[in-house]
Structure 1
Amino acid sequence: MPRPFPRAVAAFAVACALLVAPTPPTQQPANADSLGTLQQQVVKLRGQADRASAALAKSTRRYEDGKARLRSTQRRLLDVARDEQRAQDDVDLAHERLVAFAVSSYTTPVGDEIGAVLTGALTNRRTGRSTTDIRYVTATQADAVDTYTAELDRQAALRRHAKALEREASSQQARLAGQHRALRADSKRLTDQLLARLDRLTLRLVKADRYAAAFRVSRERQDRGGDDAPACDKPTVTGFPNGLIPMALLCSLPAKGEYLRADAARAFWLLDTAYRLRFGSHICVTDGYRPLGEQYAVYRTKPALAAVPGTSRHGRGVAVDLGCGIQNFGSTQFRWMKRNAPMFGWVHPAWAESNPFEPWHWEYVGRG
């Protein structure tokens, strides 16, 4: 299950120390940022990303609460509809009894007054009956008239209740639609802001010659048409916000276009080597590092189902989704991974075996 980053300042100070691991001294431009300034900018970007995720998480909870209220209203409306149907059945039954009594009043000499009462009940649902009229009707016949009138009243009340619930459901649906539009707009705005800040920070890192070699190697490999080699000599970066790690600092996986954090990628390549010896093919990777833009794209489509952007383990570069049989719980490939992947620092988290059920999701936790 996606988990947010720790926010403790002390822990993050250690992460920043890793982020800016010593590199050979180089001649920096006179206006290049200092190391301390870059650390502050990374911390600032991290804080902005955390606040953006928290704001969207709060909005998502409100959206979920609204959906729950709508489902409750719809269930109540369904219950009332069923009650209405039962009430209609009862009205029909009471009506049949009155018809039978009315017919009987014309064929049995019980008096004109009885016929008037019974016929009036059929033609006027609010017939006034004096005690003089009622005394000519047997107890059973009087009860039939009262039952019919009561059932009509109950049916009318249920219809009013149903109309009120329909109006309530319609209003809730309109509010949800508005919340959905707002979530989509907010997610796009936050994505654009954070990615723009990441671009500016990346340029400042290059200008200050932090990770310059890694950026140059990445560009050279792109120019050559990609990086298919398992070797990854890039530093392990842990200070960037979720989904905002510069791609040049990530390492490629066997699947084209999929990347991970350097230490996770190196461990994955070792695991892949063992897997190939057993099955004769690479591990199928359907998803690796997930940039914040992709997280927001999924969230905008299904805000109630997708993880809140900035909380996904994929955004830290330490999670993969796998296929080619591994995604099938209990398959030969899945069982092999369960037994052997931990030796390389990869595990299938306990939450992914129950709630939600995701046999394809694997995470790098490091080698003990």
Structure 2
Amino acid sequence: MLNPAAFFLNQAEASSQQIHFIYNLKGRRVEYVNVAYERVLHGSQAKVNDELPTLLAHLPPDDLPWLRRCWQLWVQGRLSDEVEVRLLRPGKPDQWLCLLPSWQQDADGMIWLGGTLRDITVGKRAQQTNVKYSSKKNTVLEILAHDLAGAFVSLQQLASYVREEMSAQTSPQVSEMLHLMQNTSQRGVQLIRDLMNQEFLESATIPLKRERVDLREKVQQCLEPFQRMGGREAKQLSWHLPPEPVYADVDTSKLMQVVSNLVSNALKFTPDEGRITVRVETAPDGVLITVADEGIGIPAALQPLLFERFTKARRPGLRGEPTTGLGLSLCQTIVSLHQGTLTVVSVEGQGSTFTVKLPKAASSTS
């Protein structure tokens, strides 16, 4: 008579979308893999060991140093966290798998590596799309806040100047309209300021969602909206990225908010003929993102106060753009949550360079 428990277990295994496997480390072969291997990776359950070299050949070359490090930890029984693995598929989008590893040593000293692989491609694509558009949204908000606030301030100053120049015989209605123009402009500036502060504050309080990313790609995506907006910003801004990947474990959306904020600040304090340069590079003990400008610089007496909340070092931009002194404080908070540092070197009249230093991707270290 068929055991009901065994029947339902077999049915569940037959319909599972998760690959379960056991690997004999000494024998260097897969001793067991369930039928989900055929559905998820389109191989043959009976030929899994013959197909393994081909499967491994689909791992991206850039990921191999990190994956070798994960393998070293795994065979030592020290890999407990889930690992996301990317597979290249010629002519098709990449496939993403999530490995939940296990390690076991039997009474004879044999080491068995096991685990579960599940396909996370759909979720990964959705996450990447969300991060991409979230970063763009933050950058566009910075640009709009910068340009709109500057326009409102100019309008406010213009209305004030006209009121001062008016003669006593000017119609009271004109004076009232100018007064209304000033108040409307002031409310517009305050609304933009409140919106940006709220957006940044909410982002800083949400727990980090880290992933291993190539910072070159993310920084370029963050900066491209500045170029597409055209105008003065597109002419002033440039970036320099290394030819090799620069990996770090970061919350992309939050970190790109920091980059966008630093670039926006640089634009505020850089004359039209000045340049802003963004660089991504590696260092012996981490990775660096620098935003350097040829602006008015920061007085030495104000530099120690820059990263305080509502700092006394806040100043309006060269074109009247408002500032609350919250931005750099929140930037430092986000960088600190990444176990990084945010520093500045500035000379008054010559410009400023802000440097974000982050740890390299944890699994890429030896």
Same fold flag (TM > 0.5): no
| TM-score normalised by the chain length of structure 1 | 0.30
Larger RCO: 1 or 2 (CA < 8 Å, sep 6+): 1
Say which structure is richer in helix.
1
Q: Name the structure with the higher strand share.
A: 2
**Computing the radius of gyration over CA atoms, which structure comes out larger, 1 or 2?**
1
